[in-house]
Amino acid sequence: YSTCYAGVIVSYWMLYRQKQQMLDWTYILSNELITNFLENKGREFNQYELIEQNQRYHLINYPPGYEAFIDYCRGWERLVTTFLFIWQGSATIGILVKFSQYLDIVFGHSFDNDPLALYGYYNLFGQYFASIIVLTTAATLFIGFYNLRCLILCYCGNIRKFRLVKYNPENEEETEQIKKRYLDLRDEYLYLQKCCVILGDVWTKPVMISSIFAIQVIISNIFVIQKQVEYCEEGCSLFIIFPIIWCCTGIYLLNMILNGISNINEASSVIKQVFTYSTSALTENSNKGDYVVIGGRERWLEYIESNPIELKIGGTVVTKKYVINSISTIVVGVGSFALSNLLN
């Protein structure tokens, strides 16, 4: 339980840290944007402001992506409200039953009834603190990830509009428009890259620490389950359900964090796929082929290959393959360890 609630303290730190910057973002974003924001609103430009900027000035230009992000936020709002009600409601019921001394008759003896654990109230009262901060931090983390994912996919959707558009090579005005459109889209591409750098800057340390705590919670609760099983000689306590829930929650949260990061990198690969699954013009100035009005397929593929968009956590690009390998290894290892201890 100490390990679990140490993770709750880390969640408080993660939420507070969203207002801090490890890097000087003036080298990443527009210096004027950050300076004007500080002068007008009197506070630093942070992740919350970045999400708002993306929503108001970028996602709004592609309605499907904007609506998807709004629906996702509303879904998290409902999810947090529901889980908060269930989580704190269950803790309240547990405290009332515990106070009536009926809990020991129903659930049996538990090792957290010792004085060190405040006779069982330690874990029950701790649920109020854990529920509020864990759910809020989770919403902040995953909404930030989804915002960037929507931004990247919206960019892909805007590019797709130019696939079959043709132009007159002899018209100099249209040729100049192609150059301007290519440069504008490349600037938007670089902005997505900057957002990945910022998100990696904000979440690298929290994600690494959270992953370590999630693994530690899993391991700790395996031993808790083993300790609870020892009481089964006198009758198993239903309190064994708590470490099982914590253990499953640790695995699920670790999967959600890694999966949220990999979804961004997977969305980034869609930009390349947009141009890969298309046809090239036969000559450089030909209006045959796909995406000729934004510079042509070959030019974009060459640029994306030389300058990919990647969200790195601790210098590591988390992909779907990485997530599958990591989670499957943890599940197999934990399952084998738990089964061997329970059988013994």
Average pLDDT by consecutive 10-residue portion of the chain (344 residues)? 74 76 55 64 72 84 89 92 87 73 55 54 71 85 90 90 78 81 89 85 84 81 75 64 78 86 90 83 60 84 89 85 83 73 62
The amino acid at 274? V
Residue showing tokens 């854990």: 130
Q: What is the pLDDT of residue 72?
A: 93
CA distances to 124, 253, 263 from 120, in Å: 7, 26, 41
Q: How far apart are CA 84 and CA 136, in angstroms?
A: 10
Q: How far apart are CA 218 and CA 96, in angstroms?
A: 29
Q: Are 324 and 205 in contact (CB under 8 A)?
A: no
Q: Are 293 and 165 in contact (CB under 8 A)?
A: yes
- Tokens for 61? 């230009």
Q: What is the pLDDT of residue 77?
A: 92
3-state secondary structure of 312: strand
Residue showing tokens 């915002």: 147
Q: Are 45 and 38 in contact (CB under 8 A)?
A: yes
H or E element, residue 103 = helix 103-107
- Determine the longest span between alpha carbons in the chain, in angstroms: 91
Q: What is the pLDDT of residue 71?
A: 94
DSSP state of 22: S
Q: What is the pLDDT of residue 78?
A: 93
Where b means 16+ CB within 10 Å and e means fewer, 299-331 reads bbbeebeeeebbbbbeeeebbeeebeebbeebe
Q: What is the pTM of this model?
A: 0.80
CA distances to 109, 242, 245, 251, 252 from 239, in Å: 8, 6, 10, 20, 21
DSSP state of 316: E
130 Cβ neighbours under 8 A, 6+ residues apart:
4, 5, 8, 87
End-to-end CA distance of the chain: 24
- Tokens for 41? 């609103």
Q: How far apart are CA 192 and CA 132, in angstroms?
A: 32
Q: Are 124 and 95 in contact (CB under 8 A)?
A: yes
For the four alpha carbons of 117, 120, 126 and 131, in that order, the dihedral sign comes to positive
For the four alpha carbons of 60, 62, 67 and 72, in that order, the dihedral sign comes to negative
DSSP state of 21: -
Q: Is 108 left (phi over 0), alpha (psi -120 to 50) or beta?
A: left
Q: How far apart are CA 80 and CA 75, in angstroms?
A: 9
Nearest to 253 by CA among 187, 311, 330, 186: 330
Q: What is the pLDDT of residue 38?
A: 67
